[in-house]
Amino acid sequence: MTKEELIEIIARRVAKEFKDGNLVNLGIGMPTQVSNYIPEGINIILQSENGMLKMGPSPDKDKVNPRITNAGGQPSSILEGGMFFDSGFSFSLIRGGHVDITVLGALEVDEEGNLANWIIPGKLVPGMGGAMDLVNGVKKVIIMMEHTDKNGNSKIKKRCSLPLTGAKVVDLLVTELGVFKFENNKMKLIELQPNVTLEEVKSKTEANFEICL
């Protein structure tokens, strides 16, 4: 499976969580791809942390406007009726509880729903970004990530080893292998991705989880 195919599988499944009228924030990296897979007939408003409402899908190369980018600095589009604003207004939406769903990437998630996604100690990063605000100010937190790292080690841990972004904040985790829900500090496998077996998920997951298929 190529990286692009993997991202598409995860992004399509994440997009199924959206309902009409949702105000949805997409984080940098992999989550920005979700904008390309919104199900037909579902009307949502995408908010970009860098100051945009009604963000659209990635534009064709001949329609790129260098002044319109998503939170990761990649070319984006804006739909009719959309608006631009400053960081103060953007974080007022987030901290004020007005955003229904945020979709974020992760370095690690553990079985209690703890999230680590902002730093690997010893590596330079531009800053913690808005993830800490998002996981505390948004109604539902969805994490999308690869199930294992480049060495095949599980990124779904018994306990996060990296500095936390938020404690017990994850509501739903979607990987290329399955979908996990977090309730009462427990992780539950609720869905397998197509052509994936339960045995494969078990072998690649360090965390303990309940099976609720």
Pair of tokens at residue 108: 């690690």
* Look-up of token digits 């604003």: 85
CATH number for the domain spanning 76: value is 3.40.1080.10
pLDDT digits (tens, 9 = 90+) for 94-114: 999 999 999 999 999 999 999
Q: Which of 193, 153, 152 is nearest to 175 (CA)?
A: 193
Are the beta carbons of 132 and 56 closer than 8 angstroms? no
pLDDT digits (tens, 9 = 90+) for 136-191: 999 999 999 999 999 999 999 999 999 999 999 999 999 999 999 999 889 999 99
pLDDT digits (tens, 9 = 90+) for 10-60: 999 999 999 999 999 999 889 989 989 999 999 999 999 899 999 998 899
Residue 156: which domain range?
3-211
Query: How much is the average pLDDT of 56-71?
Result: 91
Total tally of structural domains belonging to the chain: 1
Q: Which residues are catalytic?
A: 49
d(CA 15, CA 11): 6
Q: Are strands 108-110 and 140-144 parallel, antiparallel or unpaired?
A: unpaired
Pair of tokens at residue 48: 């970009």
